[in-house]
Structure 1
Amino acid sequence: MPLNYNHQLTVLRDILSEHQLDCCGTVSECEQIERLAKSLLANDEVDGQVKQILPHIYAYGQGGKYSTDLNAHISAHQGQLADWVNGLS
């Protein structure tokens, strides 16, 4: 059973929050961030304000996936992570 968009938002918010709090993460989490952001962007039920931040979240996931130092990538985005988590609430 696929996740509905509320569940997708919750999972995305949880991963981003963990990155913010722990300052570390995994490549698989970055890939999941990409997939969730892409799916939510394609969903017409998602709020317009949320859709405005999703491309940035997608780019963050993609950047993390290809980063040679993922923890540094996460640390460099601490300010945005807090804003994104709040924006997805």
Structure 2
Amino acid sequence: MSSLFEILGNQITNQYCEYFGKKYAINTNWTSPFPDCLDCLCADYGLECCGFGTQAGPNIPPAGCELVLGICEVRFALVSSKKYI
């Protein structure tokens, strides 16, 4: 995705990235909460986002555990007791 420009007459007045209807200035970064779990950067070449935590890739729990859902942080709970490890 490329960055966007606001043009007034024949001059560029503002360069930005747009993400879900919100404008972000060039060289800004932000983190989106669960369920997206993204670290994003608005650069002059466009928008760059990378998943973190549960969205960073496969999260395979150890035997007898399950992934805790509803948060970006990777946490596992014992299936038998629901205690976090």
* TM-score over 0.5 (shorter chain): no
The structure number with the bigger radius of gyration is 2
User: Normalising by structure 1, what TM-score?
Assistant: 0.24
Q: Which structure has more RCO (C-alpha within 8 Å, separation ≥ 6)?
A: 1
Question: Greater helix percent: which structure?
Answer: 1
